[in-house]
Amino acid sequence: MKKLMVVYGLLIVSFLVYVVMYRMDEGRSAAWEDGGLRGSIGENYVMVTFQSGMEYWKNILKGFEDGGDALGVSVEYRGATQYDVKEQIMVLEQVIAKKPAGIALSAIDSSALTATINKAVDAGIPVVLFDADAQGSKAYSFLATNNYNAGAAAADKMAQLLGREGEVGIITQSGQQNHADRTSGFKEAIAHRYPAMKVVAVKEGKGDAIIWRDAVLEMMEEHPDLRGVFATEASGGAGAADAVIAAGRKGELRIIGFDTNKETLDRISDGTVSATIAQGTWNMGYWSLQYLFHLHHGLTVPAPTLGNDVAPLPPRVDTGITIVTRENVDDFYAK
Amino acid sequence: MKKLMVVYGLLIVSFLVYVVMYRMDEGRSAAWEDGGLRGSIGENYVMVTFQSGMEYWKNILKGFEDGGDALGVSVEYRGATQYDVKEQIMVLEQVIAKKPAGIALSAIDSSALTATINKAVDAGIPVVLFDADAQGSKAYSFLATNNYNAGAAAADKMAQLLGREGEVGIITQSGQQNHADRTSGFKEAIAHRYPAMKVVAVKEGKGDAIIWRDAVLEMMEEHPDLRGVFATEASGGAGAADAVIAAGRKGELRIIGFDTNKETLDRISDGTVSATIAQGTWNMGYWSLQYLFHLHHGLTVPAPTLGNDVAPLPPRVDTGITIVTRENVDDFYAK
């Protein structure tokens, strides 16, 4: 009987020790939760684009997902399938109706989406924009490549490749601001920084690699001393590569392309293209998610509730570029 | 005896239930720790400035500290006491010697600190810059006000105050790029957006409120139709305020100032100054800390170890501005 009482007593003590330990652990867990940045799995952040099949979005979505994983929240991707303003507005309306914790949007048109964006913000759903802006909307931030600087960086790389001298040309898409900015960044950097270099030709147009191949072959004929070509978009780089192969000048006439589609990366691997400009797509997605999280949780100073004329977040973020060459090309193939 | 056995049995069951619950809670705690962004208290991030007594740094440090609290890491502030290049280099060297987890620096001189910054980065200590850049250094990002845009925002506010018409003047400090950018942002926004407005005078110089008071009184005499003044720095705004009081034109001739020192805020409260431009100082500190945390923990894509020509983080962040008026001035007094 006495033995039983001892066992009984020991059990009660052990039990109390466990209760105390359990309480302490609860306290520690709460501190962890307070100390770190963490949302809840019920928080849903949505990334919205147009032309949802485009390879270009993949790495942005990867950054958005990585941000969601880091902060312990849910993310979702919704895209209009076509390059169609009305379809994107419809998708955005559907997303708003579900009252997500935040929306990261690439706007197909800089003014057509403003009313729908403002509707979301007025309903208390934070919106940030990436890659393509909707100026004048109530979105809190715009995260994208500074295309002028990207063009200037391409000029610096070209100068390095050519020993800071020689004639160069540009092929670029007409009628789009991002391509115009890349072109002027390249031209002005050459003009201001490299006195022994000259931009002798700029061909503007639209089209696939075949059209650009012919344009570059023409440029080579018109300028026999041409030593380099900067293409402001992917199909131009592919066309220029075809041209130097056709002319038997592979590796001698230097090409710098833009973006990191598989064809361009392959041309870097085989030495036809010297470099390409990779946009900071992961940064666009990751920091968009971070910004939406901070807005949703009221972590910004000043608070967005102060009204207009207020920047609770950095309103403009240059997400940067990386220059891809044969040395680091393997890091840029899709994994 | 049988009653005792029942109690005994119940106790064992309760005990086991507690053990199981405790284990489950441990599991949940570990998930919290993994899921959220959180460092350790042993991680020390250092903010380094010059003229450490300046009121302007306070809110940047607040953002830096808030970032540290959010991520559960330690922060420290170190500043050269004077406006002295050598002293700041010495302070930075001392900070590097302690091998902190990261350094956020406002560079007193855009080239003199480059070697010391690069030394830190080469030693594996992440460095970001805020407010004042060191172009060409290996620092990973620069977070600061886009002064051109800030000037343009001041022009928009002035246009709103004046009903989009009338003559305006600018007083600005000579020889500093940030002031030159604010001036040209203001001038070009007026020229391009407000055809019924005109910048009729720009006075450049240096000095305290008394000198600027006299300059504005002079400007008012030379341009009797002058309806507004934009001052690109704080003492200019104070001087302009003194001038309109001396001329008996308080509230009639509109003044827009820059920054949020106590004197400017008081002049907004009493109606002498219509608005001032608050820089996104909290954002500079908070997002500097976040960027350093991400570099220290290897959370960026691409990784900084890929070498030069790589942007693991957004290289340039416009930290934004807020327009302070009588409506929201109370939020900007130091708390």
Cβ atoms of residues B92 and B99 within 8 Å: no
Instruction: Report the alpha-carbon distance of residue B67 to residue B264 in Å, rounded.
Output: 28
Cβ atoms of residues A87 and A80 within 8 Å: yes
The answer to whether the Cβ–Cβ distance between A301 and B18 falls below 8 Å is no
At B212, the amino acid letter reads W
What CATH number corresponds to the domain at position B194? 3.40.50.2300
A189 and A232, same domain (yes or no): yes
A110 and A162, same domain (yes or no): no
Instruction: Report the alpha-carbon distance of residue B144 to residue B110 in Å, rounded.
Output: 14
Answer yes or no: is B25 within a domain: no
Query: DSSP string spanning A98-141?
Result: T--SEEEE--SSTTTTHHHHHHHHHTT--EEEESS--TTSS-S-
Range 289-328 of B in CB contact (< 8 A) with A: 290, 299, 301-302, 306-307, 309-311, 313-323, 325, 328
Please give the pLDDT value at position A33.
Answer: 45
Instruction: Report the alpha-carbon distance of residue A186 to residue A167 in Å, rounded.
Output: 13
> Which chain B residue's Cα is nearest to A317?
B317
B51 and B104, same domain (yes or no): yes
- From A247, A262, A278, give the residue that closes a domain: A278
Angle between helices B262-269 and B234-246 (to 10 degrees): 40
B164 and B50, same domain (yes or no): no
Please report which helix (H) or strand (E) contains residue B101, including its range. none
B312 and B229, same domain (yes or no): no
Nearest to B22 among A25, A301, A325 (CB): A25
Answer yes or no: is B4 within a domain: no
Going by pLDDT thresholds of 50, 70 and 90, the confidence category of residue A318 is very high
Going by pLDDT thresholds of 50, 70 and 90, the confidence category of residue A28 is very low
Which tokens is B273 given? 């100054």
Question: Which residue is it, tokens 């076509």?
Answer: A82
Answer yes or no: is A220 within a domain: yes
Candidates B95, B82, B136; CA nearest to B114 is B136
Nearest 5°: the CA angle B298, B300, B301 is 125
- From A228, A261, A278, give the residue that closes a domain: A278
A201 and A293, same domain (yes or no): no
- Distance between B32 CA and the closest CA of chain A, angstroms: 7
**Percentage of the residues of chain A whose pLDDT score is greater than 90:** 76
Please give the pLDDT value at position B34.
Answer: 55
Specify the number of domains making up chain B: 2
SS3 B322: strand
Answer yes or no: is B303 within a domain: yes
Answer yes or no: is A265 within a domain: yes
In terms of C-beta density within 10 A (0-12 exposed, 13-18 middle, 19 or more buried), how is residue A85 classed?
A: middle
**Cβ contacts of B146 within 8 Å, gap of 6 or more:** A316, B318
Instruction: Report the alpha-carbon distance of residue A211 to residue A241 in Å, rounded.
Output: 12
Least confident of A245-254, A278-287, A303-312: A303-312
Angle between helices A57-71 and A281-296 (to 10 degrees): 40
Please give the pLDDT value at position B32.
Answer: 38
Query: DSSP string spanning A206-243?
Result: ---HHHHHHHHHHHHHH-TTEEEEEESSHHHHHHHHHH
Cβ atoms of residues A278 and A75 within 8 Å: no
Query: What are the two backbone dihedrals, phi and then psi, of residue A151, each rounded to the nearest 5 degrees?
Result: -65, -40
Find the farthest-apart pair of alpha carbons in chain B and give their distance in angstroms, rounded: 109
Residue A134: domain span: 44-145+281-320
Answer yes or no: is B62 within a domain: yes
The answer to whether the Cβ–Cβ distance between A25 and B21 falls below 8 Å is no
Please give the pLDDT value at position A110.
Answer: 82
Nearest 5°: the CA angle A72, B71, A300 is 85
Q: Does A27 touch chain B (CB under 8 A)?
A: no
pLDDT truncated to tens, each residue of chain B (335 aa)? 677 777 777 777 777 777 666 555 444 333 334 568 999 999 999 999 999 988 899 999 999 999 999 999 999 999 999 999 999 999 999 999 999 999 999 999 888 999 999 999 999 999 999 999 998 899 999 999 999 999 999 999 999 999 999 999 999 998 888 999 999 999 999 999 999 999 999 999 888 889 999 999 999 999 999 999 999 998 899 999 999 999 999 989 999 999 998 999 999 999 999 999 999 999 999 999 999 999 999 999 888 876 667 899 999 999 999 999 999 999 888 76
Least confident of A12-21, A91-100, B108-117: A12-21
A95 and A75, same domain (yes or no): yes
A262 and A162, same domain (yes or no): yes
| CA–CA distances in Å: residue B206 to residues B80, B234, B239, B245 | 23, 12, 12, 21
Question: Which residue is it, tokens 């008071």?
Answer: B213
Nearest to A313 among B8, B316, B320 (CB): B320
**Cβ contacts of B216 within 8 Å, gap of 6 or more:** B169, B171, B203, B229, B239, B240, B243, B244
- Distance between B321 CA and the closest CA of chain A, angstroms: 6
B205 and B163, same domain (yes or no): yes
The answer to whether the Cβ–Cβ distance between B22 and A26 falls below 8 Å is no
Q: Does B70 touch chain A (CB under 8 A)?
A: yes
Nearest to A14 among B15, B28, B315 (CB): B15
Instruction: Report the alpha-carbon distance of residue A253 to residue A156 in Å, rounded.
Output: 16
Please give the pLDDT value at position A248.
Answer: 94
Higher pLDDT, A5 or B111: B111
A141 and A286, same domain (yes or no): yes
Q: What is the DSSP letter of A302?
A: S
Instruction: Report the alpha-carbon distance of residue A225 to residue A16 in Å, rounded.
Output: 88
In terms of C-beta density within 10 A (0-12 exposed, 13-18 middle, 19 or more buried), how is residue A24 classed?
A: exposed
Answer yes or no: is A221 within a domain: yes
Instruction: Report the alpha-carbon distance of residue B249 to residue B163 in Å, rounded.
Output: 18
Which tokens is B209 given? 């409120």
Q: Does B33 touch chain A (CB under 8 A)?
A: yes
Instruction: Report the alpha-carbon distance of residue A315 to residue A297 in Å, rounded.
Output: 18
Q: Does A72 touch chain B (CB under 8 A)?
A: yes
Cβ atoms of residues A163 and A141 within 8 Å: no
Candidates B211, B224, B214, B218; CA nearest to B253 is B224
Least confident of A19-28, A37-46, A117-126, A311-320: A19-28
Tell me what ipTM this predicted complex has.
0.85
Q: A219-222: list long-range contacts, CB under 8 Å, 24+ apart.
A: A219/A169, A219/A171, A220/A247, A220/A249, A220/A253
Cβ atoms of residues A36 and A289 within 8 Å: no
Cβ atoms of residues B253 and B201 within 8 Å: no
Q: What is the DSSP letter of B59?
A: H
Range 76-115 of B in CB contact (< 8 A) with A: none
Cβ atoms of residues B113 and B50 within 8 Å: no
Averaged pLDDT for residues A218-230: 97
Angle between helices B147-161 and B177-193 (to 10 degrees): 40
Please give the pLDDT value at position A35.
Answer: 67
Question: Which residue is it, tokens 């010391």?
Answer: B116
Query: DSSP string spanning B114-152?
Result: HHHHHHHHHTT--EEEESS--TTSS-S-EEE--HHHHHH
A104 and A128, same domain (yes or no): yes
A167 and A263, same domain (yes or no): yes
Answer yes or no: is A130 within a domain: yes
Q: How many CB atoms lie within 10 A of CB A183?
A: 22
